[in-house]
Amino acid sequence: MSAATLFENATLIDGTGAPPRAEALLVTDGRIAALGAEAEARADEGTTRIDATGMSLMPGLIDAHCHLAFDDAQSNTELFHQRRNALSALVAAHNAKKLIRAGVTGILDPDSTFENMIDLRDAIDLGVAEGPRMACGAYALITSIGGTAGRLINDSGITGFYMAVNGADEIVAEVRRQIKYGADWIKVHVTGVVPRQAHKGEMCAWSDAELRLICDTAHDLDTPVMGHCRGADATRRAAEAGFDMLLHATLMDEAALEAVVARKVPLVPTLTLLANLVDFGARVGSSASLIDLLAHELEASADTLTRAHKAGVPMLCGSESGFSLVPYGEWHYREMEVFIRYLGMTPLEAIHCATSQGARALRLEGEVGELVVGRRADLIAVQGDPTADVTILGEAGRIAHVMIDGTLRDLSPLPERKPISGWRVASFGQRLDRAAAFGPGTERARAAE
- Rounded Cα–Cα distance for residues 291 and 275 (Å): 9
Least separation, in Å, of the C-beta of 413 and Zn ion?
A: 28
Is the CB of 76 or the CB of 82 nearer to Zn ion? 76
- Rounded Cα–Cα distance for residues 156 and 164 (Å): 5
Least separation, in Å, of the C-beta of 235 and Zn ion?
A: 16
Q: Which residues of 198-230 are buried (b: 16+ CB within 10 A; e: fewer)?
A: bbbbbbbbbeeebbbbbbebbeeeebbbbbbbb
Is the CB of 34 or the CB of 79 nearer to Zn ion? 79
Is the CB of 150 or the CB of 384 nearer to Zn ion? 150
Q: Report the residue closest to Zn ion, judged by CB.
A: 320
- Rounded Cα–Cα distance for residues 336 and 100 (Å): 18
List 28's β-bridge partners, or say none. 31
Q: Give the CA distances from residue 435 to residues 200, 295, 352, 445, in Å, rounded to whole numbers and listed in that order.
A: 12, 15, 35, 12
Is the separation of the CB atoms in 381 and 57 below 8 Å?
yes
Binding site for Zn ion (CB under 5 A): 320
Is the CB of 320 or the CB of 337 nearer to Zn ion? 320
Least separation, in Å, of the C-beta of 67 and Zn ion?
A: 6
Contacts of 189 (CB under 8 A, 6+ apart): 140, 141, 142, 147, 148, 162, 205, 227, 228
Least separation, in Å, of the C-beta of 65 and Zn ion?
A: 5
Q: Give the CA distances from residue 171 to residues 138, 151, 164, 242, in Å, rounded to whole numbers and listed in that order.
A: 14, 21, 9, 16
Least separation, in Å, of the C-beta of 63 and Zn ion?
A: 11
Is the separation of the CB atoms in 64 and 406 below 8 Å?
no
Is the CB of 14 or the CB of 320 nearer to Zn ion? 320
Least separation, in Å, of the C-beta of 111 and Zn ion?
A: 7
Is the CB of 68 or the CB of 232 nearer to Zn ion? 68
Is the CB of 15 or the CB of 147 nearer to Zn ion? 147
Least separation, in Å, of the C-beta of 248 and Zn ion?
A: 9
